[in-house]
Structure 1
Amino acid sequence: MKTSRRRVRGPLLAVLLTLGLSLSATPASAFPGSPGPATPDIVDSTEHGGRTVALTFDDGPNPEDTPELLDVLRRHRVRAVFCLQGDQVQRHPGIARRIAREGHTLCNHSMYHGDMGDWSEEEIRADLLETDAAIREAVPFARIPYFRAPYGSWGRSPGVAADLGMQPLGWSLAVEDWVPPGTDELVRRVEEGVGPGAVVLLHDGGGDRSQTVEAVARVVPELRSAGWRFTLPARRG
């Protein structure tokens, strides 16, 4: 997990803030992928609970591991949420397009993975708008129904994200794959930690995520055989 705190400054900040003011006057339901008004409540479960689980992946796209992860998910017919980092989308737009093309849900995960805990609403809005623009440059008219704060450091971001039509997306199970503990350990953490309606935090970017890919390839069929169904997080808090 990176610790960059780069912020938008100067003329670009002014432009984004102007755009943000016009967007904030638009009903949240007018945004692509937002059938109703988003709320500031942080979602950390699936819609219906029970033996359902949602897989979410942060910090990508990553050319070393994301394509292989996509292969695994396609093979097992699982749809997931990819929390995309804006600068990574700019570096690897083709992978972002593949994520969307294969039916996965997109999530705004900030532009540079900065800690927003003490940012002003204006700074957060500028960053989220810049990230949305980067995603939609790669994937025109992309639906971006969720926002996830880097490090889970939410600060004022839930309200800003909701104003922009994005539901804040948390998690109920973090397996800490950002410090690779070995594939067997990741599998154990998921299988022992998963509960009804779990939203699982994993990573496809930010470092070597080959262990995560291998763990997902094992966990998905094992959970399915145990009666679990893969779905998406709730759309509203």
Structure 2
Amino acid sequence: MTPTRSRTRGRLLAVLLTLGCALWAASPAQAWAWWPPYPNEPTTDIVDSTQWGGQAVALTFDDGPDPEDTPRLLKVLRQNHVKAVFCLWGDHVRQHPDLVRQIVAHGHTLCNHTMHHDDMSTWSPEEIRADLEETSAAIREAVPHARIPYFRAPYGAWGQTPEVAADMGMQPLGWSLTVSDWNTPGTDELVQRLREGITPQSVVLLHDGGGDRSQTVDAVARIIPELRSQGWYFTHPAWRG
């Protein structure tokens, strides 16, 4: 290698290293793209905080995909440059595989939310594993080789599911804030509950399926710009408990 080419490569490496350090110093949100989001093996701990600290929020959506509300939600998230976690209900995945492909194409993260949304709190490990394997298989029928880093138990009825999920490579995902959007209290009320309930490193439980979630989508469209104006940023839940 000539001295000139060696110096050129050295200068390029220095620029890249400087840029990486600058992004890390600027904010964890900007650094996200520079560092692997899932660096460790999952644990049986149920995570309920964000990957990064400060005024961080992670939005998670359960029970989809839904042909009415999921596309609207994806549009809202895209317009606001927010990535979220979608906890997929296996039956709905099989009904709407195209929506799963859209979720992945938009750069969102997938979560196994069981096949039939059953309460697994009394199930045996063998029964749990069979269900989670069926759900992941349904997701990968829609999106081959899809990465599914999280598992969330329906109703928060965990039982022995954390041990099984971790053994299958999925981190159990809880939440620190729920606004009971399944009761459809009205968009204004949901916005107020989000406004009052979000604290630093919140993992927020919302829904894009399992019923009419139009109020949830409208509330998300309103709250994201408001939070951003107050210095909040959006990131992923923690990977390891």
TM-score tier (shorter) = 0.7 to 0.9
Asked if structure 2 preserves the Cα contact closer than 8 Å seen for 1:46 and 1:234, the reply is yes
Within 1, Cα distance between the matches of 2:63 and 2:122? Answer: 21
Superposition TM-score, scaled by structure 2 size:
0.84
1:150 aligns with 2:154: yes
Cα separation, 1, equivalents of 2:138 and 2:39? 22
- Give the CA deviation at 1:176: 0.3
2:27 counterpart residue number: none
Secondary structure at the aligned position of 1:88 is classed as: helix
Is 1:45 aligned to 2:49, yes or no?
yes
- Give, in angstroms, the shift of residue 35 of structure 1: 4.2
Distance (Å, rounded) in 1 between the aligned partners of 2:38 and 2:113: 17
Indicate whether 1:75 and 2:79 are aligned.
Answer: yes
For residues 82 and 42 of structure 2, the distance between their equivalents in structure 1, rounded to whole angstroms, comes to: 25
Other-structure match for 2:140: 136
Return the alpha-carbon distance in structure 2 between the equivalents of residues 149 and 81 of structure 1.
14
Counterparts of 1:1-237 in structure 2, within 5 Å, are 35-237=39-241
More moved, 215-224 vs 35-44: 35-44
**Amino acid paired to 1:162:** A
1:95-137 Cα offsets, whole Å, 9 max, x none, are 0000001000000000000000100000000000000000000
- Of the two, which has the highest radius of gyration? 2
Q: Is the 8 A contact 1:34 1:166 kept in 2?
A: no
Q: Supply the distance in 1 between the matched residues of 2:54 and 2:79 (Cα, whole angstroms).
A: 24
- Larger helix share, 1 or 2: 2
CA contact (8 A) 2:58 2:204 kept: yes
Q: Secondary structure at the match of 2:181?
A: coil
- CA distance 1:48–1:34, change in 2 (3 Å): closer
Q: 1:34 deviation in Å?
A: 5.4
Deviation readout 1:161-198 (Å, 9 max, x if unpaired)? 00000000000000000110000000000010000100
Unmatched 5+ stretches in structure 2: 1-36
Supply the distance in 1 between the matched residues of 2:151 and 2:127 (Cα, whole angstroms). Answer: 15
Identity %: 71
Which whole-Å CA distance do the structure 1 matches of 2:130 and 2:121 have between them?
15
**Aligned mates of 1:69, 1:48 — CA distance in 2:** 24
Q: CA deviation at 1:50?
A: 1.3
- RMSD between aligned alpha carbons? 0.9
- Alignment partners' CA distance in 1, 2:174 and 2:80: 24
| Amino acid corresponding to residue 123 of structure 1 in structure 2 | E
* Structure 2 counterpart SS, 1:178: helix
Q: Which amino acid counterpart does residue 171 of structure 2 have in structure 1?
A: Q
Aligned length: 205
Return the letter of the residue paired with 2:92: Q
Contact 1:121 1:156 in 2 (8 A): yes
